[in-house]
Chain A
Amino acid sequence: MGILEVKGVGKRFGGLQALGDVNLSIEENTVHAIIGPNGAGKSTLLNCLVGKLIPDEGSVTFAGTSVLGRKPHEINQLGISRVFQTPEIFGDLTVMENMMIPCFAKRDGAFRMHAIESIEEEAELIAKAEAMLADVGMLEKREMIASSMSRGDKRRLEIAMCLVQEPKLLLLDEPTAGMARADTNNTIALLKEIKEKRDITIAIIEHDMHVVFSLADRITVLAQGTPLVEDTPDNIKGNPKVKEAYLGETQQV
C-alpha cells in the first residue's frame, strides 16, 4: 500500500477524455516520476491530486484519507506540498517572509487571527525558517525581495517553502522547465540531497529525461490519459512501447 493511491481516476473536459482509468501507487520515501508526451494528462492528474480539479470518477487516497472534495488548502494541511511549473512565490515579500508564511501555516493551520503579536517574537519559527534557508544555501539572501531573484533562486526558495512545512509528499510540476543548464543541474543536486536527507516522498512530472533518469526510482509513462507502463528507469529506457509513444520513434533499423 503506497502513501498515495490513485484508483480508476477519470476526468473529462467536454468531449475530451483527459484522463481515463488511471491507477497509480506511489510508495513511501521514493521518487516517482510521471512522464508522457504533451497532452498526455500529466498536469490534469497532478491537479486532481491537489484539489484544483475534481475527478469525474475514481478515488485518490493519501495516507489512508480520501482527498476528493477537499479544498486545496485542506489537502496541503494533510501533508502534500506542490511546486509549480513557474515558481509561485510571494513576489512582493522578502525571502525571509516567504519562509515565515509556511512556518505559520504549519503551526497554526488554515486561519488564525494573531493580529497583535509581533513576528519578531516568534524566535522558534524564525530559527526554523533560517535553518531551512541555510540548507538550500540562501541565507545571505534573506532580506531580498523575492521577485528580484533569478529563476533558479525562485525555484530554490519555492522548494524551501514547501520543505519547511515538512510535507509527507512533495509534488513537483516540471521543476526545471525553462531553466538554464546550470540552474537545472543545481536543482537536480538539491532534489537529490533532499531525497537522501529527509523522509519524504517525491512525485515529479518532467519533460527533461536527464532530470528524470538522475532522480527517479520508479517511472510511470502516461499516454492519452492512461498509464502505459510503470517500471524502474532502466527498464523504461529499453522499453520499445515507451519509445514509440513518448519519444515518437519507430524501429527503423
Chain B
Amino acid sequence: MFGLNKKDSSFLLIVIALTIATPILLQPFAEGSELAQFNGGYPDLMQKIAIFGIFAVGFNILFGLTGYLSFGHAAFLGIGSYAAVWMMKLLTMNVIPAILLAMLVSGLFAAAIGYVSLRRSGIYFSILTLAFAQMSYKMAYSVLTPLTNGETGLQLALDDPRILDGAVEGSSLPVTNIFGLAMNSSYKLEALGRVFTFNVGYYFCAFIAILAFYVAIRLFRSPFGMMLRAVKSNQQRMTYTGLDPKPYTLAAFVISGMYAGLAGGLLAAMDPLAGADRMLWTASGEVVIMTILGGAGTLMGPVLGAGVIKYLENIFSKINESVLHGWFHWLPDGVEDVVIWIFARFTGEGWHLTLGVTFMLVVTFLPGGLIEGLRRLSKRIKHGSQKRDKYDDPDPEHRPGPGKRVAGE
C-alpha cells in the first residue's frame, strides 16, 4: 500500500486507527468519578500530542538515524511559529499557507545552521546547535523586536492587513480555519457517562501527523535512510566507499528542521501566537527527552515519548493539593498530611520530578526506550517468561558449546 510493504502498511493502518480513536481512548474514566482527573481527551492536549509527535519524529530522523544530537531544535519550532503567525497577519487566517511558509522558512534556517554546525560532530555539534538556538532565542527576545514583538510575543491584531480575508467586522479577532472550518470548533458527544470531544483542530493536526509519519516510514526504508544509518555506524568506511557523508547529514538536518517548522506552524495554527520561549534550550531538551524516552531510531518511539511527556505535563501539573486531599481524605489526619506532602512533590508544580524519575527508570532499565519495553512485553506474552540472559544473542554460532574435557582428566 502506497509503496510500503505489508508489515509497514498494517503498522500505518494501526497508527491511523489509533489516531482517529484518540478522543475516545484518552477518555476512559466516567465524568465526575475520582479518576476523571486522568482523562486526557480534551482538544488542547490531543493537539499537543500530535504536534509534538511530529516534532519528535522529525528530530528522530536526524538523531535516531545519523546519531547527530542536535540540542537546538526548538529554534526551528519557534521560527516556524513566527513564520506562521506572520502569514496569518499578512495574508489569510487559512492555516495552509501559514504551515507551508513555516516549513519553508525553518528549512532555510536549518540549511544555514546545519551547514556550519555539521562541520563538527559529537559534543561539538551539540554545543554549536545549542549556541545557534540560544542566539535565535535572544534575537527573537530583544534584537528583532519589530519582527517578533519581543517578550510580549507575536499576536494577531485587528488592524492586520490579511489581504485575502479582507477587513475584520466587529471587534473580535478572527479565528484560524481551514477553508472556512474553524480550528476551534468541536463536536461533543455524550455517551456512557463520558463526554467525547471531536475537535477540528485535533483532526487537522492528526491528519498532518499521519502524513509526516508516513513520509518518515518511507524515508526509514529508503536507500537514503540506509545511508543515514551508515553515517552513524562508520563514517570512515562510508568515505572509502565513495560516499560523501556531508550532504547526507545536511539533508537529514534540513528535513528534521522542516519537521520542527511544521510542528511550530501547527502550534500557531491552533493558537495564533508565537513567543520566544518556544526557542528556549529547555524546549530543545524536551524533544531530546521525548525521543530517548520513546526509543531513538525507532519509528513509533518518538511519538510514544511525545505522548507520554505531554500527558504527564498536562495531567500531573493539574493535580494540586486540594485534588490530593479529595483522594486521601479517608486517611487518618496525621498520615493524610504526610501522604499528601509526598504526592505533592510529584504533582502540580513538581511534575518535572515525575518526568525525571520516569526518564531515569526508562534509561536505566530500558535503554531502547518505551518501545523496547513494549517489545519485551509482547515477547514475554508470546514465549512465556523463560529466563533470558544477556549472552542469549541472536547469533547461534557463538554460543559456547558443551564444555571440553581438560586433557589428562
Interface residues of A (CB under 8 A from B): 50, 71-74, 76-77, 81-82, 84, 88-93, 97, 100-102, 104-106, 108-120, 122, 144-145, 148, 150, 161, 165
Contact = CB atoms under 8 A, between A and B. Distances in A.
17 contacts: A71-B244, A73-B239, A73-B244, A74-B242, A77-B242, A91-B233, A91-B234, A97-B229, A100-B226, A101-B230, A104-B226, A105-B243, A110-B244, A111-B247, A115-B219, A145-B394, A148-B398
B276 to A, nearest CB: 33
A219 to B, nearest CB: 25
Contacts of B389: none
B39 to A, nearest CB: 39
A88 B240 CA distance: 10
B248 interface: yes
B222 A117 contact: yes
A197 B5 CA distance: 38
- Interface size of B as a range: 20 to 34
A101 B221 contact: no
Given A115-B222, A117-B223, A148-B393, A89 B242 contact: no
In the A-B complex, the 9 residue pairs with the smallest Cβ-Cβ separation, listed nearest first, are A76-B242, A115-B224, A90-B233, A110-B244, A111-B247, A88-B237, A92-B233, A105-B242, A77-B242
B50 to A, nearest CB: 23
B339 to A, nearest CB: 47
Given A91-B234, A92-B233, A119-B221, A72 B239 contact: yes
Contacts of A89: 234, 237
Contacts of B385: none
A146 B237 CA distance: 13
Contacts of B392: none
B278 interface: no
Contact of A165 (B4, B242, B244, B398): B242
B94 to A, nearest CB: 28
Interface string B1-44: 00111000000000000000000000000000000000000000
B240 A76 contact: yes
Given A73-B244, A110-B242, A115-B218, 20 more contacts: A50-B240, A73-B243, A76-B239, A76-B242, A84-B236, A90-B230, A92-B232, A92-B233, A101-B226, A104-B223, A104-B227, A105-B241, A110-B243, A110-B244, A110-B247, A114-B223, A114-B224, A115-B225, A115-B251, A144-B395
